[in-house]
Amino acid sequence: MWLYLAAFVGLYYLLHWYRERQVVSHLQDKYVFITGCDSGFGNLLARQLDARGLRVLAACLTEKGAEQLRGQMSDRLETVTLDVTKME
């Protein structure tokens, strides 16, 4: 019984260690496209990823939201106006 428990705990830590080692290399060369960046979760995510050095393409519903976000972030963040509620 104790052998099975020790094997299970060992396997758990081995899998946890393996997952922690998996990282994406060259994050500064990657782009992330985020919709809904006028406010809320999309805005917060765009700010955090820009602060971490990733290149962000932030889609905003209004031009005003795009200008506000563009004015507060670095040159790595680019904004586009996009209405995802319409099919066109």
Indicate the pTM of the whole model.
Answer: 0.68
- What is the structure's pLDDT at 73? 86
What CATH number is given to the structural domain containing 78? 3.40.50.720
Contacts with 72 (C-beta within 8 Å, 6 or more apart), sequence order: 47
Q: Is residue 7 part of a domain?
A: no
- Using CA atoms, how far apart are residues 80 and 24, in angstroms rounded to an integer? 26
Residue 88's domain comprises 24-88
Any domain includes 50: yes
- How many domains does the structure of the chain reveal? 1
Which pLDDT tens digit goes with each residue over 67-84?
998 888 888 999 999 888
Residue 36 belongs to a domain: yes
pLDDT over 70 for what percent of the chain?
A: 99
Residue 1 falls inside a structural domain = no
What's the confidence (pLDDT) of residue 34?
95
Give CA–CA dist 4/72, Å, rounded.
55
- Name, in order, each residue with C-beta under 8 angstroms of 80's C-beta and a sequence gap of 6 or more: 57, 58, 59, 60, 66
Is 83 part of a structural domain of the chain? yes
pLDDT tens for each residue of 38-69: 888 999 999 999 998 899 999 999 999 999 98
Is 78 a member of any domain?
yes
